[in-house]
Amino acid sequence: MCKNNGQLILGWREWVALPDLGLHAIKAKVDTGARTSALHAFNVEVYEENGIEMVRFFVHPIQKDQEHYIECTAPVIDRRQVTDSGGHRELRYVIETNVIIGDLHYPIEITLTDRDTMRFRMLLGRSAMKNKIIVDSGASFICGQPDLGEVYTFKTEVD
């Protein structure tokens, strides 16, 4: 694991885990141009549980694979107007969840949006990297690559 002054060095794309969501491996674009991290989500449904606003959603964690999915739930911490790289504005749900990148494990905020047409199912934004990560734009997968057959048992039909 490469470190510089205690900060983890990542390539422009890396495998990360969101264990609280059951996402043990998802390829993320490390995007210093994006303020907030974003996660691919579909069939997003808001509900209340014990007085807490919750969100239930599904994720296709593997690029170019719309058959396999993971069902996720999390408390809603905010709704924010986000402008994407194409200039389109969208009101998104925001959740907080733990991320594991290399040997780092810490909470980050993530907005939920449909990224099915995007190359990466997740963007790791600069607020999630602040004071923890340095990006080597010429490198990829510095933290290694998981064996996806070992980390996932997929569902293939949404209930």
Question: What is the residue-averaged pLDDT of the chain?
Answer: 88
pLDDT category at 141 given cuts 50, 70, 90 is very high
pLDDT at position 151 over 70: no
The three-state secondary structure class of 105 is strand
Query: What residue ranges define each of the domains in the chain, with the CATH number in brackets?
Result: 3-131 (2.40.70.10)
Percent of all residues in the chain with a pLDDT value above 70, rounded to a whole number? 90
DSSP class of residue 45 equals E
- Please compute, for residue 153, the number of CA atoms within 13 A of its CA located in the half-sphere on the CB side: 0
| pLDDT tens digits along 60-117 | 888 887 888 899 999 999 999 987 777 788 899 999 999 999 889 999 999 999 887 7
pLDDT of residue 9: 92
pLDDT of residue 157: 55
117 — phi, psi (to 5°)?
A: -90, 0
